[in-house]
């Protein structure tokens, strides 16, 4: 199979390049890396590409004003029609920037409201595609695909506008196109998918139902459950260190419990430094027992500067900034992962004893390892930053409701509850294991470590014009089904 793979951002690089997808047997073709990377980073990535793949760089897409207006209108139409709680939040966010930008968004919001029906969105989509089809970038990809003749075009991320020109070029040549829905919240909290792909690869049956619900023009036979390769490194024993080796790599004592605080980005988790401060103060005062160490890991898109005061006031804190390169500060699409970050996160999620975060995907990362999670749900300022308390806000978003309803985490609605929940979990990490297990089974429809293979097999069947199988291998039942390796008792004394 000859496959053209679009990796428009750093998340796609992490999931499908550093995760081993391109070393699966049976694949070859072109890999289009994100724009904005320096040559040294490209050379680093070259070592993760299997034989038969060639590397190139995506052509910079210079979006014209009319195309931008139609894209934003389509996004607002999608959010008005879907009308989830998260979508209501996004479409009500204030527009900042130049007066031209504000006029663009106000006009797009007005048109989006009038076109917020499946029929209206089809018309907007057609207008948008017709406008972009005239862009010179489409001609560039027409020539590239006519020369290389891939059997299928696969995109690792469904939202970046840069992917529309190559998708339109491929479809005009009769090349089937497929995309991967890269995160569990994207279908219920984001705007429109960037291009009208032929096939959609999703994590789970739950996400499959969401795709069919929010994109009624997509038929059932075009949505395929493959899990997600971003978790495959967790089952790669070549990446895993013993607890002792891992703790010594950042100067920690493996005999002491380790609490990981996982931060979000500044816009969605503005109180991360203050929440982490509460946790550290309770540890220092002894209100959190067992003398744990606290490791704070910001989100990859966060440059970490907002934690400066916290680092100064709590020198005992372990600050572990993700090993991602910020090629263009402030531009989230130009943040790229280094291989060592994949290894670090695989070991952190396995060896940390407990995770604290605010409504983050990291709840799922740690649940995969059957590690307890406390979600912070209290405000540090009055009035609340988003107008309503965090508990009434993030923990009612559609994608996060299963965490609450299944009891996959505990929720700290006050600083005192944070200390209480952390102490309970440190005393007995096995608490709520059933909720975590059910949560993982709901969200990830492929055994951990086998998603890359499932994606490649799905793409192979699409390339041959066959119907990909609707279901993947079952993960089994019960506690040991959370991850593909045998369950290990919770103890900081293991694997020293």
DSSP 173-214: TT--EEEE--STTHHHHS---SS--SEEEESSHHHHHHHHHH
pLDDT of residue 95: 85
d(CA 130, CA 87): 27
Mean pLDDT in the chain? Answer: 91
> Each residue of 15-27: pLDDT tens digit?
999 988 888 777 7
Share of the chain above pLDDT 90, in %: 78
- The sign one gets for the Cα dihedral 129, 135, 137, 138 is positive
pLDDT of residue 35: 86
Determine, yes or no, domain membership for 15. Answer: yes
| CB 133 within 8 Å of CB 170 | no
> Each residue of 142-179: pLDDT tens digit?
999 999 999 999 999 999 999 999 999 999 999 999 99
- CB-neighbour burial class of residue 328 (10 A; exposed 0-12, middle 13-18, buried 19+): exposed
Residues 356 and 286 in one domain: yes
- pLDDT interval class at 36 (50, 70, 90): confident
Residues 343 and 217 in one domain: no
Determine, yes or no, domain membership for 460. Answer: no
Residues 182 and 251 in one domain: no
d(CA 32, CA 57): 5
**Cβ neighbours around 204 below 10 Å, total:** 21
d(CA 446, CA 195): 26
pLDDT of residue 330: 66
d(CA 448, CA 470): 18
For the chain, give the longest Cα–Cα distance.
Answer: 67
Is residue 486 predicted with pLDDT exceeding 70?
no
Share of the chain above pLDDT 70, in %: 94
pLDDT of residue 488: 38
Determine, yes or no, domain membership for 33. Answer: yes
pLDDT of residue 319: 98
Average confidence (pLDDT) over 444-449: 95
**Residue 427 to residues 421, 465, 482, 486, Cα–Cα distance (Å):** 10, 54, 22, 22
pLDDT of residue 192: 93
Residues 300 and 398 in one domain: yes
Final residue of a structural domain among 419, 443, 467: 443
Helix/strand number for the chain, H first, E second: 20, 15
Residue 192's contacts (CB-CB under 8 Å, 6 or more residues apart) are 71, 74, 75, 77, 78, 121, 125
Residues 25 and 156 in one domain: yes
- pLDDT interval class at 494 (50, 70, 90): very low
Reading the block at residue 260, the tokens are 């990981």
d(CA 495, CA 351): 9
Residues 180 and 310 in one domain: no
Determine, yes or no, domain membership for 285. Answer: yes
**Cβ neighbours around 64 below 10 Å, total:** 12
Q: E-strand spans in 387-431?
A: 410-412
Q: Is the peptide bond before 383 cis (omega within 30 degrees of 0)?
A: yes
Greater confidence (43 vs 129) lies with: 129
Determine, yes or no, domain membership for 308. Answer: yes
| CB 30 within 8 Å of CB 150 | yes
Q: What is the CATH number of the domain that holds 319?
A: 3.40.50.2000
Residues 44 and 165 in one domain: yes
Q: Which residues pair with 337 in a beta bridge?
A: 324
Name the strand (E) or helix (H) holding 453: helix 451-463
pLDDT of residue 102: 92
Phi, psi of 11 (to 5 degrees): -65, -40
Phi-psi region of 97 (alpha: psi -120 to 50; beta: other; left: phi over 0): left
Average confidence (pLDDT) over 48-55: 85
> Helices 99-114 & 65-82, crossing angle to 10 degrees?
50
Average confidence (pLDDT) over 28-55: 85
Residue 491's contacts (CB-CB under 8 Å, 6 or more residues apart) are none
| CA neighbor of 105 nearest in space, from 127, 120, 90, 84 | 90
- How far from chain centre, in Å, is Cα 234? 15
- pLDDT interval class at 379 (50, 70, 90): very high
Reading the block at residue 309, the tokens are 């005061």
Determine, yes or no, domain membership for 451. Answer: no
Determine, yes or no, domain membership for 233. Answer: no
Is residue 227 predicted with pLDDT exceeding 50?
yes
Residues 121 and 141 in one domain: no
What is the residue-wise DSSP string for 87-126?
HHHHHTSPP-S-HHHHHHHHHHHHHHHHT-SHHHHHHHHH
Average confidence (pLDDT) over 245-258: 97
Final residue of a structural domain among 110, 129, 148: 129
Residue 74 belongs to domain spanning = 65-129
Residues 314 and 399 in one domain: yes
Final residue of a structural domain among 228, 252, 267: 228
- pLDDT interval class at 472 (50, 70, 90): very low
Residues 364 and 405 in one domain: yes
pLDDT of residue 468: 60
pLDDT of residue 19: 84
pLDDT of residue 370: 97
- pLDDT interval class at 485 (50, 70, 90): very low
d(CA 216, CA 118): 7
d(CA 458, CA 201): 8
Residues 44 and 84 in one domain: no
Scan for tokens 């998340």, then name that residue.
Answer: 11
> Each residue of 405-437: pLDDT tens digit?
999 999 999 999 999 999 999 999 999 999 999
> Each residue of 112-126: pLDDT tens digit?
999 999 999 999 999
Determine, yes or no, domain membership for 114. Answer: yes
pLDDT of residue 334: 84
pLDDT of residue 469: 58
Domain count, the chain: 3
Is residue 359 predicted with pLDDT exceeding 90?
yes
d(CA 156, CA 479): 31
| CB 188 within 8 Å of CB 212 | no
Average confidence (pLDDT) over 104-111: 95
Residues 141 and 102 in one domain: no
């Amino acid at each position: 199979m000859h496959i053209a793979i679009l990796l428009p951002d750093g998340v796609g690089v992490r999931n499908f390049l550093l995760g081993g997808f391109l070393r699966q047997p049976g694949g070859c073709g072109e890999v289009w890396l994100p724009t904005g990377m320096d040559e040294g980073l490209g050379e680093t990535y070259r070592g993760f590409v299997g034989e038969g793949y060639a590397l190139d760089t995506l052509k910079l897409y210079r979006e014209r004003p009319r195309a931008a207006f139609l894209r934003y209108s389509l996004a607002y139409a999608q959010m008005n029609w879907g009308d989830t709680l998260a979508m209501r939040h996004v479409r009500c966010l204030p527009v900042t920037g130049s007066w031209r930008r504000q006029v663009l968004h106000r006009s797009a919001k007005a048109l989006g409201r009038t076109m917020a029906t499946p029929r209206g969105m089809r018309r907007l989509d057609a207008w948008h595609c017709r406008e972009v089809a005239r862009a010179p970038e489409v001609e560039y990809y027409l020539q590239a695909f006519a020369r290389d003749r891939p059997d299928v075009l696969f995109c690792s991320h469904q939202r970046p506008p840069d992917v529309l020109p190559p998708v339109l070029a491929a479809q005009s040549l009769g090349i089937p196109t497929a995309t991967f829905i890269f995160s569990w919240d994207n279908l219920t909290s984001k705007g429109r998918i960037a291009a009208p792909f032929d096939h959609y690869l999703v994590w789970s049956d739950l996400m499959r139902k969401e795709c069919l619900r929010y994109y009624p023009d997509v038929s059932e036979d075009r949505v395929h459950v493959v899990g997600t390769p971003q978790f495959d490194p967790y089952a790669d024993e070549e990446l895993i260190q013993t607890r002792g080796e891992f703790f010594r790599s950042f100067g920690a004592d493996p005999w002491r419990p380790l609490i990981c605080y996982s931060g979000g980005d500044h816009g969605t988790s503005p109180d991360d430094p203050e929440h982490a401060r509460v946790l550290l103060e309770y540890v220092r005062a002894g209100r959190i027992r067992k003398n744990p160490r606290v490791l704070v890991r910001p989100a990859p898109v966060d440059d970490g500067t907002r934690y400066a005061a916290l680092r100064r006031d709590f020198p005992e804190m372990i600050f572990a900034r993700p090993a991602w390169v910020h090629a263009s500060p402030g531009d989230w699409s130009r943040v790229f992962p280094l291989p060592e970050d994949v290894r670090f996160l695989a070991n952190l999620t396995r060896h940390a004893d407990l995770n604290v975060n605010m409504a983050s995907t990291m709840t799922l990362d740690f649940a995969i390892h059957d590690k307890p999670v406390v979600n912070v749900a209290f405000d540090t300022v009055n009035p609340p930053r988003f107008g309503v308390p965090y508990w009434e806000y993030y923990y009612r978003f559609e994608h996060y409701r299963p965490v609450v309803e299944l009891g996959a985490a505990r929720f700290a609605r006050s600083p005192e509850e944070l200390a209480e929940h952390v102490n309970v979990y440190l005393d007995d990490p096995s608490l709520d294991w059933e909720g975590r297990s059910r949560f993982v089974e709901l969200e990830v429809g492929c055994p951990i470590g086998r998603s890359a293979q499932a994606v490649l097999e799905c793409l192979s069947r699409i390339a041959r014009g066959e119907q990909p199988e609707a279901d993947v291998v079952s993960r089994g039942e019960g506690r040991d089904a959370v991850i593909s390796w045998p369950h290990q008792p919770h103890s900081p004394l293991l694997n020293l």
